[in-house]
């Protein structure tokens, strides 16, 4: 076989090297003169790539795409007469991405410039040796490490040489930029699903301490926050396997070496040792560095979504104490990157789930000291005194407006959330509360407003308004600052209830009528939640006149049957809402299983520099979810073609677990991408207009895994919401189309269920009162 001949071009020796295929694996050509040249058909189909060696030698080679990378490297070493074994070398492109069997074809077709460099094993051995030396080159070593550590081949060699221990030592003993580089390398390593299963509590505590320090640099805090988030998400319930999606609350134990052995409990145990950690993370939500705010928001979301049964109350109370809601409301009006929009909507969905959890948690003052303390606070601020009721009991809670003295039963429908709302109503203005209570007690019993009962009814109205029906996904596609300020809204609505009671001269039997007035006002005051200023909400509750509210409510009654406001109907609606959401969820995921074509797009950021953008040779991408719901398989193409069923036509894939956010409306089409023109165009950031039908799949590090533009709004809604619904932490709904589908199905289902009742003119009670319990156990159930 002839060797490549030398030529002079820019000081580099060049040769044309042909790899025609397995039957003719190496057919060199010299300066355009063929010597055993490949056939015409092969030459026409195989592009020419430029390969540069470490010594600066440049060759042009036609590489057969079906060859393994090891064979390509071996042939290059033979033809370039390199004496070292081929196993010491590897190929990388201009971006230092390792060429593998999976991406070789893509590199060849794209005519990528390749470099013959040290193999991952050589690089790993060199980096581990330099880490252990801890000399002046440590910064440079860590820079190389954080770049290569994402690669499976490099990571395997790095870990086999005990490189992780050396990296952890650097993290424990360094500070400043060196610490930032080391943490970033660890963050990149943790993108793999193996190799970091032996991180101990001391390491987790070290990361917690780094985050707790307000003096830590921003470039240190960003990777530290991402590491802690990854550890929270690496719980056994998130491990891939047959148990995913099962009803069992106890996932099977993980095999040795699995990284899915950390989770909320492990991380939170170390967080409790640094009391200022959560406070510091919350403070960073207001950071001028939007990426730092984004990372902090993502960590809070992960903790909320995975809070354990044993700690979720403590954790949620701590978040409320730190007033995280206020910080997030501030982000709603001040954020500058679209990625934060997705995080804020995720936060709303998490708060919705936790609120529902509190609403369905029973108030039990005998077993829960916190419940007893809250009840005692409410009672002491009422400045009332207990009295005997003449039947051997006490007349206490009935003075506040409850129907009975059974406090567990009184809070049965609203749970701990109802107790929280009443306590906050008292704490907002204790003097006002005691004054109102004393005023009502001084009235005849028939004319008293049942304050505590009114508070619970307002909780039910707000729960209905914000669709707090279940632990599923939130269907809100916009910011809900009033929901995050629900205690304040509850206080305003309860004050409105009391005012309507007084202005209407209501008596005990008028309670449902005043509830209807409150329901009507809640809808009006909380309309257009993402756009209305807070002072207008206060004005609607505090300054509206009774007659105006009554007239509007009467008009609403003409258009809506009074039956819809009854408690059994509201409970039925809640059940149908959850069923409708699950139906739409399955439909969206089914669309992902079918697959669809999208246009490849360019992510747009506020800090995009002026640059030259090359239009892609393959502007179209077909994506399809696998049946296991674990990978998003895809293929890029110059033209659309008929994709067969299955995954044979889709060689590339994205791990669903690697998707941290689905950002919408953040990508722009490439210039003239549809016309397929070649060449380059210089753009300013202002010239890149994001498409409303675009979406980007973001990793935990903020990198973009995919950037696509949907062909129409329906396809965009199917995929953005479907991908969100696949996420274990319960992502938000992004499209109004999905929100409207859920609401429409709920309303249709409710009307169908009511046809039988309304057709027979059956009377639906406002509530069902349980009878008295049996006096003794001397009874049995008869066989019917």
Q: Which helix (H) or strand (E) holds 223?
A: helix 218-233
Are residues 354 and 213 part of one domain?
yes
With respect to residue 78, please indicate whether it lies within any of the assigned structural domains.
yes
Torsion of CA 100, 106, 107, 109, to 10 degrees: 150
Cα–Cα distances (Å) from 525 to 205, 212, 330, 543, in that order, read: 47, 40, 21, 11
**pLDDT top residue among 517 and 20:** 517
Structure tokens belonging to residue 268: 């939170």
Q: Label residue 384 exposed, middle or buried (CB < 10 Å: 0-12, 13-18, 19+).
A: middle
Q: Label residue 747 exposed, middle or buried (CB < 10 Å: 0-12, 13-18, 19+).
A: middle
The pLDDT tens digits of the residues spanning 584-623 come to 888 888 999 999 999 998 887 644 444 445 666 788 999 9
Are residues 311 and 450 part of one domain?
no
With respect to residue 248, please indicate whether it lies within any of the assigned structural domains.
no
User: Residue 722's domain is classified under what CATH number?
Assistant: 2.30.29.30
Map tokens 């071996």 to a residue.
Answer: 74
Phi-psi group of 392: left, alpha or beta (phi > 0 → left; psi -120 to 50 → alpha; rest → beta):
left
Please provide the DSSP assignment of 66-128 as one string: TS-HHHHHHHHHHHTT--S-GGGEEEEETT-PBP-TTTHHHHHHTT--EEEEE-HHHHHHHHH
Decide: 302 and 661 in contact? Cβ < 8 Å: no
The pLDDT tens digits of the residues spanning 300-309 come to 999 998 898 8
Angle 455-459-460 (CA atoms, 0-180°, nearest 5)? 120
With respect to residue 255, please indicate whether it lies within any of the assigned structural domains.
no
d(Cα 696, Cα 702) in Å, to the nearest integer? 11
Chosen domain end from 532, 560, 588: 560
User: Residue 103's domain is classified under what CATH number?
Assistant: 3.10.20.90
Decide: 211 and 221 in contact? Cβ < 8 Å: yes
Are residues 437 and 352 part of one domain?
no
Strand-pairing partners, residue 655, are 631
Number of domains in the chain: 5
Are residues 141 and 88 part of one domain?
no
Map tokens 């998490």 to a residue.
Answer: 350
Structure tokens belonging to residue 83: 């004496």
With respect to residue 447, please indicate whether it lies within any of the assigned structural domains.
yes
Are residues 124 and 114 part of one domain?
no
What's the confidence (pLDDT) of residue 9?
Answer: 39
Decide: 729 and 688 in contact? Cβ < 8 Å: no
d(Cα 225, Cα 190) in Å, to the nearest integer? 13
Decide: 503 and 548 in contact? Cβ < 8 Å: no
Decide: 109 and 93 in contact? Cβ < 8 Å: no
Which pLDDT band, with edges at 50, 70 and 90, does 560 fall under? low
What's the confidence (pLDDT) of residue 255?
Answer: 76
pLDDT at 243 over 50: no
Phi-psi group of 505: left, alpha or beta (phi > 0 → left; psi -120 to 50 → alpha; rest → beta):
left
With respect to residue 747, please indicate whether it lies within any of the assigned structural domains.
no
Is beta strand 611-614 parallel, antiparallel or unpaired with respect to 596-603?
Answer: unpaired
Alpha helices in 369-429 (DSSP H): 369-382, 407-410, 415-428
Map tokens 């609203």 to a residue.
Answer: 414
Q: What is the pTM of this model?
A: 0.72
φ, ψ of residue 712 to 5 degrees: the values are -155, 170
Helix axes 486-503, 511-525, angle to 10 degrees: 130
**pLDDT top residue among 31 and 776:** 776
Angle 89-94-95 (CA atoms, 0-180°, nearest 5)? 100
Structure tokens belonging to residue 763: 């009377």
Nearest to 322, CA basis, from 296, 359, 288, 349: 296
Are residues 691 and 554 part of one domain?
no
DSSP 776: S
pLDDT at 650 over 70: yes
d(Cα 421, Cα 398) in Å, to the nearest integer? 18
Helix axes 567-594, 736-759, angle to 10 degrees: 140
Are residues 433 and 318 part of one domain?
no
d(Cα 504, Cα 133) in Å, to the nearest integer? 83
Is beta strand 620-625 parallel, antiparallel or unpaired with respect to 611-614?
Answer: unpaired
The pLDDT tens digits of the residues spanning 388-434 come to 776 766 788 989 999 888 999 999 999 999 999 999 999 999 999 99
Are residues 382 and 294 part of one domain?
no
Chosen domain end from 297, 326, 359: 359
Cα–Cα distances (Å) from 424 to 326, 429, 494, in that order, read: 16, 9, 12
d(Cα 104, Cα 102) in Å, to the nearest integer? 6
DSSP 24: B
Are residues 589 and 704 part of one domain?
yes
Chosen domain end from 71, 98, 118: 118
CA 366 to chain centre: 37
With respect to residue 781, please indicate whether it lies within any of the assigned structural domains.
no
Average confidence (pLDDT) over 511-518: 90
Q: Label residue 555 exposed, middle or buried (CB < 10 Å: 0-12, 13-18, 19+).
A: exposed
Q: What is the domain extent for residue 455?
A: 369-560
Decide: 191 and 699 in contact? Cβ < 8 Å: yes
User: Residue 342's domain is classified under what CATH number?
Assistant: 1.25.10.10
Helix axes 338-359, 415-428, angle to 10 degrees: 100
pLDDT at 56 over 70: yes
Are residues 149 and 270 part of one domain?
no
Are residues 104 and 128 part of one domain?
no
d(Cα 669, Cα 674) in Å, to the nearest integer? 9
With respect to residue 743, please indicate whether it lies within any of the assigned structural domains.
no
Nearest to 691, CA basis, from 770, 750, 603, 610: 603
d(Cα 229, Cα 267) in Å, to the nearest integer? 9
pLDDT at 637 over 70: yes
pLDDT at 269 over 60: yes
The pLDDT tens digits of the residues spanning 124-147 come to 999 999 999 888 888 889 999 998
Average confidence (pLDDT) over 740-756: 80
pLDDT at 561 over 60: no
Are residues 443 and 337 part of one domain?
no
The pLDDT tens digits of the residues spanning 184-205 come to 999 999 988 888 988 999 999 9
What's the confidence (pLDDT) of residue 698?
Answer: 81
With respect to residue 433, please indicate whether it lies within any of the assigned structural domains.
yes
Structure tokens belonging to residue 561: 């049957």
């Amino acid at each position: 076989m002839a060797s490549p001949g030398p030529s002079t071009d820019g000081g580099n020796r060049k040769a044309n090297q042909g790899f025609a295929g397995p039957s003719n694996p190496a057919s060199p050509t010299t300066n355009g003169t063929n010597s055993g040249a490949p056939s015409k058909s092969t030459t026409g189909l195989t592009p020419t790539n430029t390969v540069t060696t470490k010594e600066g030698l440049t060759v042009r080679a036609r590489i057969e795409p079906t060859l393994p990378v090891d064979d390509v490297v071996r042939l290059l070493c033979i033809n370039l007469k390199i004496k070292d074994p081929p196993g010491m070398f590897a190929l990388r492109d201009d971006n230092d991405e390792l060429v593998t069997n999976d991406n070789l074809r893509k590199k060849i077709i794209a005519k990528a410039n390749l470099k013959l460099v040290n193999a991952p094993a050589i690089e790993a051995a060199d980096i581990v040796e330099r880490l252990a030396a801890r000399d002046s080159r440590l910064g440079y070593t860590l820079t190389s490490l954080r770049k290569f550590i994402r690669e499976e081949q490099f990571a395997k060699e790095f870990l086999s040489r005990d490189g992780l221990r050396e990296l952890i030592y650097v993290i424990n003993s360094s500070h400043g930029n060196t610490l930032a580089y080391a943490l970033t390398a660890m963050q990149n390593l943790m993108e793999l699903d193996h190799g970091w299963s032996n991180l101990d509590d001391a390491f987790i505590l070290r990361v917690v301490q780094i985050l707790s320090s307000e003096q830590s640099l921003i470039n240190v805090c960003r990777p530290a926050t991402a590491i802690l988030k990854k550890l929270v998400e690496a719980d056994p319930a998130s491990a891939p396997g047959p148990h995913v999606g099962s009803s069992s609350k106890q996932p099977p134990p993980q095999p040795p070496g699995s990284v899915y052995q950390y989770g909320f409990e492990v991380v939170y145990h170390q967080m409790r040792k640094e009391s200022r950690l959560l406070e510091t993370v919350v403070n960073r939500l207001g950071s001028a560095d939007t990426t730092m705010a984004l990372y902090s928001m993502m960590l809070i979301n992960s903790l909320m979504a995975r809070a354990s049964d044993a700690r979720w109350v403590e954790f949620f109370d701590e978040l409320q104490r730190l007033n995280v809601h206020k910080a997030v409301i501030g982000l709603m009006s001040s954020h500058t990157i679209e990625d934060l929009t997705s995080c804020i909507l995720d936060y709303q969905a998490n708060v919705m789930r936790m609120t529902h959890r509190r609403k369905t948690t029973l108030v039990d003052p005998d077993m829960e000291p916190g419940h007893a303390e809250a009840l005692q606070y409410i009672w002491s601020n009422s400045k009332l005194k207990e009295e005997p009721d003449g039947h051997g009991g006490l007349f206490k809670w009935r003075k506040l407006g409850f129907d009975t003295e059974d406090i567990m039963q009184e809070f049965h429908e609203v749970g701990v959330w109802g107790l929280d709302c009443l306590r906050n109503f008292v704490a907002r203005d204790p003097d006002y509360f005691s004054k109102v209570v004393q005023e009502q007690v001084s009235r005849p019993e028939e004319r008293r407003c049942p304050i505590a009962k009114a508070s619970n009814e307002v909780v039910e109205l707000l729960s209905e308004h914000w669709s707090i029906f279940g632990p599923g996904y939130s269907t809100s596609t916009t910011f809900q600052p009033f929901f995050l300020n629900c205690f304040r809204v509850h206080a305003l609505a309860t004050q409105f209830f009391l005012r309507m009671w007084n202005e209407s001269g209501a008596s005990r039997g008028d309670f449902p009528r005043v509830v209807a007035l409150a329901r009507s006002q809640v809808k009006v005051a909380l309309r257009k939640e993402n756009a209305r200023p807070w002072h207008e909400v206060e004005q609607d509750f505090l300054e509206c006149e009774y007659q105006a509210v009554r007239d509007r409510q009467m008009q609403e009654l003409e258009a809506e049957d009074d039956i819809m406001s009854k408690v059994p109907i509201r409970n039925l609606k809640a059940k149908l809402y959850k069923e409708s959401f699950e139906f739409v969820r399955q439909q969206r995921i089914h669309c992902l299983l079918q697959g669809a074509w999208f246009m490849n797009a360019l992510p747009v950021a506020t800090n995009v520099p002026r640059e030259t953008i090359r239009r892609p040779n393959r502007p179209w991408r077909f994506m399809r979810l696998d049946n296991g719901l674990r990978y998003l398989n895809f293929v890029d193409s110059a033209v659309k073609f008929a994709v067969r069923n299955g995954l044979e036509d889709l060689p590339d894939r994205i791990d669903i677990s690697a998707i941290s956010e689905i950002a919408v409306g953040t990508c722009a089409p490439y210039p003239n991408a549809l016309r397929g023109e070649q060449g380059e165009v210089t753009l300013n950031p202002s010239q890149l207009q994001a498409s409303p039908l675009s979406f980007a799949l973001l990793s935990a590090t903020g990198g973009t895994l995919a950037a696509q533009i949907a062909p129409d709004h329906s396809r965009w809604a199917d995929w953005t919401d479907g991908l969100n619904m696949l996420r274990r932490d319960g992502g938000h709904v992004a499209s109004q189309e999905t929100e409207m589908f859920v609401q429409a199905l709920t309303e249709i289902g409710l009307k169908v269920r009511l046809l039988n009742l309304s057709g027979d003119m059956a009377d639906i009670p406002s509530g069902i009162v349980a009878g008295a319990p049996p006096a003794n156990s001397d009874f049995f159930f008869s066989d019917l």
